[in-house]
Amino acid sequence: MCGIVGYVGSAEAAPILLEGLRRLEYRGYDSAGVATLEEGIVSVRKEVGRIDDLRKAIAINPIGGSTGISHTRWATHGKVTRENAHPHFDRSGKLALVHNGVIENYASLRAQLEEEGHQFHSQTDTEVLAHLVGRAFDRCSERTPGALVSALREALGQVAGTYGIAIVHADLPGVLIGARRGSPLVLGIGKGEHFLASDVSAIVGYTRDVVYLNDYEIAVLSDEGFTLSTVQGNGADYSVTKVDMTEEDVGKGDYPHYMLKEIHEQVRSVTDAMRGRLSHEEATAKLGGLNMSNAELRTIERIVLSGCGTAFHAAMVGEYLIESLAQIPTECEYASEFRYRNLPMTKDTLVFVLSQSGETADTLAALRESKRKGHRTLGICNNVASTIARESDGGVYMHAGPEIGVAATKSFTSQVTILTLIALLLGRIRNLSSSAGTRIITELEALPAQIEKVLQLEPEIAKIAKRYAHSKVMLFMGRQFNYPVAMEGALKLKEISYIAAMGYPSAELKHGVIALVNPETPSVVIAPHDAVFHKNLSNIEEVKARGGPVIAIGTEGKGKELSLVCDDVILIPDAPEILTPILTSIVLQIFAYHIAVELGCDVDKPRNLAKSVTVE
């Protein structure tokens, strides 16, 4: 949520900062700002709106200097206004600061500062932090980076909450300072230049050598080098990581939107989620990252899967997968509920947290709560350098490549693929025969080709999507493995097209939802040819009997019954029912995408949303 980029070196800072912000725009896009050090003063430009608005403003009114900080905002405290946009200043106007996170006790700190005569120009918590640091620095007799770091330590000692920050000060040309607690910050090492960013994708075009800051660390950067220390005043060890992400990975290529690019990447991402993890010889999955022996895995009596949004829906599919293949009682919990709920968990409960970004605040809190209670807690993450990846006791990386579109797509299918591998592994050390294991492996290996076929349906799905694009409400239903897909399909549609959509288990229709059925309200029914196909067919009849249009997702070669009753039918390749969610969810991603495009919505940057929700 929100993006930070900082630069110190010999090049013009503004173009580098703007380019970095453009790469981070998916993290927040209400307003944006840049501050640079120019001839002993801090120059600033801020705009409400997108990075492009800021770029245009800077083209008209350029900003020089080779040290600077910048920010793209997703509002938490205070409305979307130029005053609330970052950077914020201290009382002297010499210190500029950008911030991701939330200062929880900002109101009392602000009141105290106001009593001392400080005046504030915004409603943000960030401005309070800028004043605190500036006040402490102005009490120092020295104007050195060391003195600013001491002032920062003093200020950070007074705040409660989370922060990833970058600071410049007019009295310290060529110095950039960063600190983190709970909000990611990465330091980039260049030749005669250094970078700070909240996400490595902002700086990957300039350097591949990075240092991920840990919580409570402070970094001081200049063109020549950098030092790290802790908020408590101790030295800090670090290691330099080589990032394997390329500029291409974080670009759109020839696609009009990241979302479409990422939908089409799923042949590769699902393949990569399985790569090297399937053993024909042992008819099972090999997941060394779990850091658990088969003997330890056998002692697991119960599993809890936790995540938010799309990751939660993947977890719901996981519940069906683990229970059916491994017969282990499994439960899904929204991370936001898990963290505050006192869920009774026996000592043999294994917890998995799922998160594409690995930085979602609620999921991280669920991980910490689970670990605090002494449970082994494993992560299923895409971002290998994320806090969740680092703090979990082990896990499985998704290897899906960067997901930039705000609507999660490939991360869902990668998570479901990995949960299938986990279910297979747990099943094979319990009741699943080796022939069943071999069959599942063969079916998994056939999946990428089947995904390819689903992607080829895009023109057909787009045509159908256009016909329904002007609906006000849409209902999604499915059963068993595809009930979570109905929820996910509804989430995809509402977040990018703003059509009210809800997903529910098909049989729930009769218990209330049917009241919404009318000729203007289409129902999307996920009805592949599985064990519950005829049950779904009855639900379709119920909708049709009340004049509701039905778009069905069925199975190739077995779609006749659907064609007879439904208005539109989309057929996926014939796959075993445990793997259908991967195929049906892709159909719904394409469907939602084309509806949003038809409505002229900003697909990659839907209103009010941000890619990774790092605040509670």
Q: Give the interface with ligand M6R as residue ranges (CB under 6 A).
A: 308-311, 355-357, 360, 363, 406-408, 411, 491, 495, 609, 612-613
Closest to ligand M6R by CB, 87 or 182: 182
Closest to 358 measured CA to CA, from 585, 611, 163, 26: 611
Q: Is 193 helix (H, G, I), strand (E, B) or coil?
A: coil
Q: How do strand 194-197 and strand 186-189 relate by DSSP bridges?
A: antiparallel
Single out the catalytic residue among 46, 94, 261, 611: 611
For residues 581 and 473, what is the distance between their CA atoms, to the nearest angstrom? 23
For residues 168 and 186, what is the distance between their CA atoms, to the nearest angstrom? 17
**Are 153 and 216 in contact, with CB atoms under 8 Å apart?**
no
Classify 399 in phi/psi space as left (phi over 0), alpha (psi -120 to 50) or beta: left
In the complex, least distance from residue 451 CB atom to ligand M6R, rounded to whole angstroms: 19
In the complex, least distance from residue 586 CB atom to ligand M6R, rounded to whole angstroms: 14
In the complex, least distance from residue 596 CB atom to ligand M6R, rounded to whole angstroms: 12
Closest to ligand M6R by CB, 199 or 458: 199
In the complex, least distance from residue 548 CB atom to ligand M6R, rounded to whole angstroms: 26
Run of H or E residues at 96: strand 95-100
Q: Could you tell me the sign of the dihedral formed by the alpha carbons of 9, 11, 14, 19, in that order? A: negative
For residues 378 and 566, what is the distance between their CA atoms, to the nearest angstrom? 43
In the complex, least distance from residue 504 CB atom to ligand M6R, rounded to whole angstroms: 18
**Are 54 and 18 in contact, with CB atoms under 8 Å apart?**
yes
Closest to ligand M6R by CB, 136 or 582: 582
Amino acid at 541: E
Closest to 580 measured CA to CA, from 317, 278, 399, 285: 317
In the complex, least distance from residue 379 CB atom to ligand M6R, rounded to whole angstroms: 10
**Residue carrying the six token digits 């016909």:** 467
Shortest Cβ contact with ligand M6R: which residue? Answer: 309
Closest to 453 measured CA to CA, from 575, 336, 349, 371: 575
In the complex, least distance from residue 99 CB atom to ligand M6R, rounded to whole angstroms: 21
Strand-pairing partners, residue 34, are: 45, 70
Specify whether 611 is catalytic. Answer: yes
**Are 449 and 352 in contact, with CB atoms under 8 Å apart?**
no
Closest to ligand M6R by CB, 66 or 612: 612
The interaxial angle of helices 580-598 and 458-468, nearest 10 deg, is: 50
For residues 510 and 576, what is the distance between their CA atoms, to the nearest angstrom? 28
Closest to ligand M6R by CB, 36 or 357: 357
Backbone angles phi, psi at 341, to 5 degrees: -85, 150
Q: Cβ contacts of residue 13 below 8 Å, gap of 6+?
A: 7, 34, 36, 65, 66, 67, 68
CA distances from 60 to 6, 32, 70, 456 (A): 22, 16, 18, 45
Specify whether 2 is catalytic. Answer: yes
CA distances from 341 to 300, 344, 363, 371 (A): 22, 9, 13, 14
Closest to 257 measured CA to CA, from 594, 18, 31: 594
In the complex, least distance from residue 31 CB atom to ligand M6R, rounded to whole angstroms: 20
In the complex, least distance from residue 213 CB atom to ligand M6R, rounded to whole angstroms: 19
For residues 28 and 21, what is the distance between their CA atoms, to the nearest angstrom? 10
In the complex, least distance from residue 32 CB atom to ligand M6R, rounded to whole angstroms: 21
Single out the catalytic residue among 2, 332, 381, 601: 2
Backbone angles phi, psi at 450, to 5 degrees: -70, -35
Closest to ligand M6R by CB, 223 or 319: 319
Structure tokens at 502: 């809800």
Closest to ligand M6R by CB, 274 or 408: 408
**Are 181 and 162 in contact, with CB atoms under 8 Å apart?**
yes
CA distances from 336 to 15, 88, 361, 416, 578 (A): 39, 30, 9, 21, 28
Closest to ligand M6R by CB, 20 or 309: 309
**Are 7 and 195 in contact, with CB atoms under 8 Å apart?**
yes
Neighbouring C-beta atoms of residue 469, cutoff 10 Å: 17
Closest to ligand M6R by CB, 229 or 612: 612
Closest to ligand M6R by CB, 76 or 357: 357
Closest to ligand M6R by CB, 493 or 570: 493
- H helices present in 506-599, as ranges: 533-545, 560-565, 580-598
In the complex, least distance from residue 448 CB atom to ligand M6R, rounded to whole angstroms: 22
Amino acid at 112: Q
Task: List residues with catalytic annotation.
Answer: 2, 611
